[in-house]
C-alpha cells in the first residue's frame, strides 16, 4: 500500500493566529472555506508565517493579466463569477456597500455588504473611501483614507440587521454621510505607480496662446539616442474648430522628472508641427487624437500609429496611419484599404483608433457606433496598407447587456482604446468611466485590461479596473507629496511602451490643488510591473 504525503495546511485565520516559523523548505498551504487550496508559503527556518511571501507570487511570470485586482469587481460576466472571497463572503451583483453605523467624532464606521479584500486587510492605509451621496464634486478631495479595518459579524441597528459587515476607522471623517449611503472604496498606490509630479505642459490661460485652454500628452516613444519623444496637443477654443488644436513634438531625457522641450519651434509659436508639414491628404483637413505609436516591425527608428482623419469640424471620417522616422525627417500618411461594413458608422469623435502588429499581421481597432452604444472592432491585414478585414470584437454594447446594466462599471461609457502586444500576447486597454453607485467603485476614468485568446478567438476582460483615478484628500496622504492630481478624473489614459519592467502611460488630468487653471492638462504615469504583479 502506497504511503500518502500530506502537506501542512490550515485556514488563513488559523495560520495568522498561530503565526509559526516554518522550517527551511517546509510547505504551508492556506485552505479556504470551499476546501480549495489557492496559496502556498515556503518556510526559511527564520521568518514567521505572516512574514513569508506567497510562493505563488514568486513564481508568477511577468504577465499583465497577473496584475493585482485591488478594486472590488462588481460586474456581471462569466469570467467574473462567482464573486466570492477568501473567507466565503459574497456580495450579490448590484448590491452596493452601505453605511450601517456612523461615528464621525471617532472617525469610526460600520460598512455592510462589504466584500473581503485581502489587500485591504494587509494594507488598509493604501485605501480610501467616500460616499456617493455626499456633496462631493468631480474633482474634489473627498475620499478619506482608511486607517484600520476589522471584518465582523452581522450588525443590528434598530430593527434592521446588516450582513457582511466590517468596522473601519479613517484618518479624517467621511464627508456628508447618512445611514445606508452607498459607499465607494478604492486604492491607488498599491499598483507600484509613479506619476509625473508636475504636468508636461500646463494650459496658461493667455489670450492667443496655442495652449490657452487645455493640453494633452498623446503618443510617446523612446529615441535611439536615449531621449523620449512625444506629442502634446494644445487647445485654444476661441479659435475655429479646425485650428483651435495645435500639436507640438516635444522631448526630454527623463519622462517623469525631466523638462520637456520643443523639437522644432518655439513653444509659444502659432504653429502645428504635424499639420504644417502638409501631409494630411485631401479631402481631410485635420485630426483629433493621435494617441499611440510603435516601432515598425523589422525597421529600426521607423514608427507607425493610427489616428482619425477629420473634416474642418473635427468629425472623424476615416482611419489614417502615419509612418515617420524617429527624427521626423521623413513622414507620410497612409489611408489604408478597409473591407468592413459598419453596422452603425465610424464614431465621429474618433476615440481610440489604434494600431499594432501581432504574429506577423497588422491590426487596426476603432469604434463602430458611439462610445456607449456601439462596439469595438478589430481588423487585420497582411500588409500595412491593407486590405484590413474583420478579426474580432472586443466588446459590444448592442449585445453584451452586462456592459450597461445597473451596477456595471461600463454603464456610462468606454472611450479610448489601445491595442498592444506584450510577451507575445495581444492586449487592449480601454479607458472609461462610471456614474453607477451600485458598481462599488468611483471616479471619472478608469482603465480596463482585455486579453485576446487565440484558441477561443475571443477577448476576455481580465482586470477591472487596471488603473483608476486617485480620489482622496491630499492631507490624508502626505507621503504622496504634491501628487494630488486627477482627483476622480484621469482621461485618455493610453499605454505607450514598456522599458525595464515599467509600463508608461500618457494622458490628461483635471483637478488638483496645485493647478491654477481648472482644465485638462498632460500627465505621465509609470507603472512598475514588478511591484504591480501578484
Which tens digit of pLDDT belongs to each residue from 93-116?
446 788 999 999 999 999 988 876
Higher pLDDT, 383 or 237: 383
What per-residue confidence (pLDDT) applies to 230? Answer: 93
- The whole-model pTM stands at 0.73
- Mean pLDDT of all residues in 297-317: 90
CA torsion angle 454 457 462 464 (round to 10): 140
Percent of the chain whose pLDDT exceeds 70: 68
In terms of pLDDT, which residue wins out, 34 or 228?
228
Map out the domains of the chain as residue ranges.
9-59, 96-187, 191-532
CATH architecture of the domain with range 191-532: 5 Propeller (2.115)
Given this model, what pLDDT does residue 483 score?
47
- pLDDT tens digit sequence for 200-213: 677 777 888 888 88
**Mean pLDDT calculated for residue range 83-97:** 49
Nearest to 167 by CA among 215, 129, 202: 129
pLDDT of residue 173 exceeding 70? yes
Q: How confident is residue 137, by pLDDT bands cut at 50, 70 and 90?
A: very low
User: Are 171 and 144 a contacting pair, CB within 8 Å?
Assistant: yes
Which residue has 468596522 as its cell numbers?
167
**The pLDDT value given to residue 356:** 96
The answer to whether the beta carbons of residues 509 and 491 sit under 8 Å apart is yes
On the question of pLDDT at 436 being above 60, the answer is no
What is the band of 528 on the pLDDT scale with cuts at 50, 70, 90? confident
The values of phi and psi at residue 390, to 5°, are: -60, 135
Tens digits of per-residue pLDDT, 40-64?
678 888 888 887 866 543 333 345 5
Share of the chain above pLDDT 90, in %: 25
pLDDT > 50? residue 532: yes
Amino acid at each position: 500500500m502506497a504511503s500518502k504525503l500530506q502537506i501542512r495546511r490550515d485556514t488563513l485565520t488559523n495560520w495568522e493566529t498561530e503565526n509559526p516559523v516554518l522550517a527551511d523548505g517546509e510547505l504551508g498551504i492556506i485552505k479556504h472555506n470551499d476546501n480549495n487550496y489557492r496559496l502556498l508559503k515556503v518556510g526559511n527556518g527564520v521568518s514567521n508565517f505572516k512574514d513569508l511571501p506567497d510562493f505563488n507570487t514568486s513564481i508568477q511570470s511577468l504577465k499583465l493579466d497577473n496584475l493585482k485586482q485591488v478594486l472590488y469587481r462588481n460586474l456581471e460576466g462569466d469570467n467574473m463569477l462567482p464573486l466570492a472571497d477568501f473567507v466565503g463572503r459574497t456580495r450579490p451583483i448590484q448590491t452596493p456597500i452601505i453605511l450601517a453605523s456612523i461615528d464621525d467624532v471617532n472617525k469610526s464606521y460600520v460598512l455592510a455588504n462589504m466584500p473581503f479584500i485581502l489587500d485591504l486587510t494587509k494594507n488598509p492605509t493604501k485605501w480610501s473611501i467616500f460616499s456617493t451621496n455626499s456633496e462631493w464634486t468631480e474633482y474634489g478631495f473627498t475620499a478619506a483614507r482608511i486607517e484600520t479595518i476589522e471584518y465582523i459579524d452581522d450588525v443590528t441597528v434598530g430593527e434592521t440587521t446588516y450582513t457582511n459587515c466590517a468596522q473601519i476607522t479613517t484618518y479624517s471623517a467621511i464627508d456628508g454621510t447618512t445611514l445606508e449611503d452607498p459607499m465607494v472604496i478604492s486604492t491607488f498606490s498599491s499598483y507600484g505607480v509613479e506619476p509625473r509630479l508636475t504636468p508636461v505642459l500646463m494650459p496658461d490661460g493667455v489670450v492667443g496662446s496655442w495652449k490657452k485652454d487645455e493640453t494633452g500628452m498623446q503618443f510617446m516613444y523612446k529615441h535611439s539616442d536615449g531621449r523620449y519623444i512625444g506629442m502634446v496637443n494644445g487647445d485654444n477654443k476661441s479659435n475655429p474648430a479646425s485650428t483651435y488644436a495645435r500639436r507640438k513634438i516635444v522631448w526630454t531625457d527623463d519622462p517623469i522628472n525631466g523638462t520637456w522641450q520643443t523639437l522644432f519651434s518655439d513653444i509659444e509659436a502659432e504653429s502645428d508641427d504635424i499639420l504644417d508639414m502638409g501631409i494630411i491628404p485631401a479631402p481631410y483637413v485635420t485630426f483629433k487624437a493621435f494617441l499611440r505609436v510603435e516601432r515598425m516591425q523589422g525597421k529600426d527608428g521607423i514608427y507607425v500609429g493610427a489616428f482619425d482623419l477629420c473634416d474642418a469640424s473635427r468629425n472623424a471620417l476615416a482611419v489614417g496611419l502615419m509612418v515617420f522616422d524617429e527624427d521626423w525627417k521623413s513622414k507620410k500618411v497612409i489611408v489604408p484599404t478597409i473591407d468592413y461594413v459598419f453596422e452603425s458608422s465610424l464614431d465621429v469623435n474618433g476615440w481610440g483608433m489604434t494600431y499594432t502588429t501581432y504574429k506577423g499581421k497588422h491590426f487596426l481597432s476603432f469604434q463602430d457606433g458611439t462610445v456607449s452604444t456601439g462596439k469595438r472592432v478589430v481588423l487585420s491585414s497582411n500588409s500595412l496598407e491593407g486590405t484590413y478585414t474583420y478579426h474580432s470584437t472586443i466588446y459590444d454594447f448592442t449585445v453584451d447587456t452586462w456592459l450597461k446594466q445597473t451596477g456595471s462599471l461600463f454603464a456610462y461609457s468606454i472611450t479610448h482604446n489601445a491595442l498592444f502586444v506584450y510577451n507575445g500576447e495581444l492586449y487592449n486597454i480601454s479607458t472609461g468611466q462610471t456614474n453607477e453607485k451600485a458598481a462599488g467603485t468611483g471616479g471619472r476614468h478608469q482603465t480596463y485590461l482585455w486579453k485576446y485568446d487565440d484558441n477561443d478567438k475571443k477577448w476576455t476582460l481580465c482586470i477591472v479596473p487596471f488603473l483608476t483615478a486617485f480620489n482622496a484628500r491630499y492631507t490624508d496622504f502626505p507621503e504622496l507629496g504634491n501628487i494630488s492630481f486627477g482627483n476622480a478624473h484621469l482621461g485618455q489614459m493610453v499605454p505607450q511602451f514598456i522599458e525595464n519592467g515599467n509600463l508608461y502611460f500618457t494622458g490628461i488630468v483635471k483637478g488638483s490643488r496645485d493647478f491654477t487653471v481648472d482644465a485638462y492638462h498632460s500627465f505621465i504615469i509609470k507603472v512598475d510591473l514588478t511591484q504591480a504583479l501578484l
